[in-house]
Structure 1
Amino acid sequence: MRGRFDTILIRGIATFLAALVPVIIFAANALMTARYDSLTIVSFCVAVGFPAALTLAVIVGLPVALFCLARRWTHWIVAMFGGFLMGLIITFLMMWLFDQFPAISDPLSDCLSGGLLGLSGALAFWSTLKLFGELEPRGRDTAGQAPA
């Protein structure tokens, strides 16, 4: 049986990966399509992208994930839908907050891209929990109580 420390460690690793995977995907896409040099893109992703993604994963993603775990909504489709929705909403709010609705780019396309990045982070979180057995139902003892 897992102790509390193990559960916290696994959820911490899952949160770290939920922030790292979208940044890697963003960096790979930027390296293939952007006109900036590689050092600039990687430096931006390390200095700005990952800290921002980790902050959002802790402030927004982790509470939503813990709520879903408490309600036993642990199917991968729920994770994908929630991650896509969170990524879409966060991208839209960031664009609106910083008044970055570009005239040459399509805001809908940008929001959908943000949603797909959120989906990848949620899937990384879900996969980590699944790999370590955190999504398995808890056992019951003979009296019908969950073990302590």
Structure 2
Amino acid sequence: MSYSPVALQTALLILSNSSATTLVDIPGSSKKIITGLNVTTFFDETTPTTVPAATDCSAAAWNTWQEWTACTDTCGSCGTQTRFRSCNKPLDTCTCTGTAYEKEYCNLAVCKFPKDSCCEGFVPKSSGGTFVCLVNTTATATP
């Protein structure tokens, strides 16, 4: 059973102010101990506070995603952008499920001459009334 710091401080204040208690110096230390009352009885009469165990990682959770980085190119699905998030964890040994990193292609618009229309692996396709560079799903592997 564990008690919250507030309960412990309250108990010490009550006990140290009681006429039935005495503060005694601990030899070789600047600390004191309280004698005279049964401290166990005091705590048995209080409501304990549940404190998560030092090995409990259930509170580990992802923080919100950061903003996307600027795209590394201006057209043709040649550029990429990334974003990151951090794991808010109670202990260094805890982990969050999932990924801390996302990467996506950006600036999908077809490039203007003299640059190739789309980067390698992408082909121009009509989407929403404009041409964009999308992943080439019909590409065949070369032997």
| TM-score clears 0.5 | no
**Larger RCO, structures 1/2 (Cα 8 Å, 6+ apart):** 1
More strand by share: 2
More helix by share: 1
Q: TM-score range by the shorter chain?
A: under 0.3
Per the normalisation by structure 1, the TM-score is 0.23
Whichever of the two has the greater Rg, that structure is: 2
Per the normalisation by structure 2, the TM-score is 0.23
